[in-house]
Amino acid sequence: MNHRMIRYIIGSLTQMEAAMLLVPALTALIYGEAACVAVFLGSALFCLLGGHLLKGKKPDDVTIFSSEGYVSVAVCWVVMSICGAMPLYFSGYFPNPVDALFEIVSGFTTTGATILSDVEILPRSVLMWRSFSHWVGGMGVLVFMLALLPMAGASSMYLMRAESPGPSVGKLVPKVRSTAKILYSIYFFLTIAEFLFLVLAGCPVFDSVNLSFATAGTGGFGVLNSSAGAYNAAIQIILTAFMILFGVNFNVYFLIYTKNIKDAFRCEEARIYMGIIGMSVLLISINTYSMFTGPGETVRHAAFQVASIITTTGFSTVDFELWPEFSRTILVILMFVGACAGSTGGGIKVSRVTIMAKTIVKELAVMNHPRNVRKTRFEGKPVEHEVLRSINVFLITYLGIFVLSTLVISLDGLDGITNFTAVASTINNIGPGLSKVGPTQNFSVYSNLSKLVLTFDMLAGRLEIFPMLIMCTAGFKRKRWN
């Protein structure tokens, strides 16, 4: 285990977070929030000095393997969350440190779950830090660091694999740093585009910045208590469109960028993703038609909520807790499906669900015709056994964490729907659940122990479970995995 390189990576990340904290500090300065200026600058200084002490001199041996990659990513996210919670705690609006940690982890993991019942009382700098944390965590803070800094050469691919969502991660171009730059260039371009569209639609500039950050990271922190319900129809349509766009695998955008348009439209996962959205919107629109004034309003709200849930953004325009059971069940199913691999969305991912479904079909065919030799194919290629094995292990581990988390938080005595959807919304990085954690409620009903469990679930869900488990496993110190 290359401990010096791990400390160097953590130190670099902490120093980078110091620079990130200048964004809310500048916001506080612009809006005359003197106390918040001191809080954010003080936190930035702490991160800068702490990062310098951790970083030290760059190690001679910068090689990292799989184990170092997983551990570095997990520890970086924990340290980043603790440092990011400091300004929330010292601002005075989150007097409970567990609440501050829960809130910022919800931000960085792009979950959007909150313990606040009234977000409009927060200073604008705190609102900005919450939303900006979505943007930082959406594509991955270590991916961003790889785009800016020469870290560990080809070995840094292990960092990208450990942080990026999906069953497998590859390089778009030969160099990892170039891949990271391309990903963040696309991410930045889409964010700017959404901001401009929102401003043109009449959304205030401050709201447009925050909504763009939250949508890009598929997070869901809003600046209004009504989430997106108070905005006009045009703004809601723009948010719907960009939530769907940020839920698409970024490889598709790379293919479009390189003018491989035909290959982009052949992407099987993206087509299935769009098909699931279309079918869900149709079914919910039919089921909720009587609740709205006409077909246009019905489809708009149905499309918004479907896009918000499947991409795990977590915005809402209406209280879908009041929808018929059929529509609510569809939304709960979409919580687990999630967006595409290689996007900023959470959930199990469309690619995994598709491969699992195809594997079931293959096994049924083999049972009927034992002599036939069939392979599961995805995106026109045979799925390797290693990928199938990793998906199976992921799902078993996912289910184990889900059950255990639900069991622990049930000690608080809340109803089953609340507990089930609370875990579903945090481990899938969605935000709102149902019942007492529905779109008009919050997570303050839980004890500190339950909030810590749900905080772990958010981190595990964002990092695809295994980095957090490896960090918590004592045996990782003795092995170096290739």
What is the pLDDT at residue 26?
97
What is the pLDDT at residue 169?
47
* Length, in residues, of the chain: 482
Residues 419-476: tens digit of each pLDDT: 999 999 999 999 899 999 999 899 999 999 999 999 999 999 998 888 888 887 744 4
Give yes or no for residue 56 having a pLDDT over 80: no
Give yes or no for residue 93 having a pLDDT over 60: yes
What is the pLDDT at residue 475?
47
Residues 200-211: tens digit of each pLDDT: 999 999 999 999
Cα 106 from Cα 115, distance rounded (Å): 10
Who has greater pLDDT, 71 or 444?
444
What is the pLDDT at residue 261?
86
Q: Provide the percentage of residues in the chain whose pLDDT is more than 90.
A: 63
Phi/psi region, residue 166 (left: phi>0; alpha: psi -120 to 50; beta: rest), is left
Cα 464 from Cα 394, distance rounded (Å): 8
Mean pLDDT over residues 51-79, rounded? 80
Residues 296-306: tens digit of each pLDDT: 999 999 999 99
Residues 211-228: tens digit of each pLDDT: 999 999 999 899 999 999
CA 439 to chain centre: 18
Give yes or no for residue 175 having a pLDDT over 60: no
Q: At 158, is the pLDDT very low, low, confident or very high (cuts 50, 70, 90)?
A: low
Residues 270-284: tens digit of each pLDDT: 999 999 999 999 999
Residues 28-43: tens digit of each pLDDT: 999 999 999 999 999 9
Who has greater pLDDT, 446 or 173?
446
Q: At 481, is the pLDDT very low, low, confident or very high (cuts 50, 70, 90)?
A: very low
Cα 11 from Cα 54, distance rounded (Å): 5
Residue 360, class by beta-carbon neighbours within 10 Å (0-12 exposed, 13-18 middle, 19+ buried)? exposed
128-137, 160-169, 259-268, range with the lowest pLDDT = 160-169
The residues with which 378 forms a beta bridge, in sequence order, are: 381
Give yes or no for residue 164 having a pLDDT over 90: no
Residues 318-359: tens digit of each pLDDT: 999 999 999 999 999 999 999 998 888 888 999 999 999 999
Tokens of 221: 């922190």
70-79, 149-158, 447-456, range with the lowest pLDDT = 149-158
CA 71 to chain centre: 19
Q: At 139, is the pLDDT very low, low, confident or very high (cuts 50, 70, 90)?
A: confident
Give yes or no for residue 82 having a pLDDT over 60: yes
Q: 381-382 and 377-378 as β-strands: parallel, antiparallel, unpaired?
A: antiparallel
What is the pLDDT at residue 480?
47
Phi/psi region, residue 249 (left: phi>0; alpha: psi -120 to 50; beta: rest), is beta
How many C-beta atoms surround the C-beta of residue 25 within 10 A? 24
Residues 378-419: tens digit of each pLDDT: 888 888 888 888 889 999 999 999 999 999 999 999 999 999
What is the pLDDT at residue 198?
97
Three-state DSSP string of the chain: CCHHHHHHHHHHHHHHHHHHCHHHHHHHHHCCCHHHHHHHHHHHHHHHHHHHHHHCCCCCCCCCCHHHHHHHHHHHHHHHHHHHHHHHHHCCCCCCHHHHHHHHHHHHCCCCCCCCCCHHHCCHHHHHHHHHHHHHHHHCHHHHHHHHCCCCHHHHHHHHHHHCCCCCCCCCCCCHHHHHHHHHHHHHHHHHHHHHHHHHCCCCHHHHHHHHHHHHCCCCCCCCCCCCCCCCHHHHHHHHHHHHHHCCCHHHHHHHHCCCHHHHHCCHHHHHHHHHHHHHHHHHHHHHHHHCCCHHHHHHHHHHHHHHHHCCCCCCCCCHHHCCHHHHHHHHHHHHHCCCCCCCCCCCCHHHHHHHHHHHHHHHHHHHCCCCCCCCEECCEECCHHHHHHHHHHHHHHHHHHHHHHHHHHHHCCCHHHHHHHHHHHHCCCCCCCHHHCCCCCHHHCCHHHHHHHHHHHHHHHCCCHHHHHHHCHHHHHCCCC
What is the pLDDT at residue 482?
41
Q: Across 76-80, 154-158, 342-346, which has the greatest mean pLDDT?
A: 76-80
Give yes or no for residue 165 having a pLDDT over 70: no
What is the pLDDT at residue 465?
87
Cα 246 from Cα 143, distance rounded (Å): 16
Cα 161 from Cα 176, distance rounded (Å): 11
What is the pLDDT at residue 69?
76
Mean residue pLDDT across the chain = 88
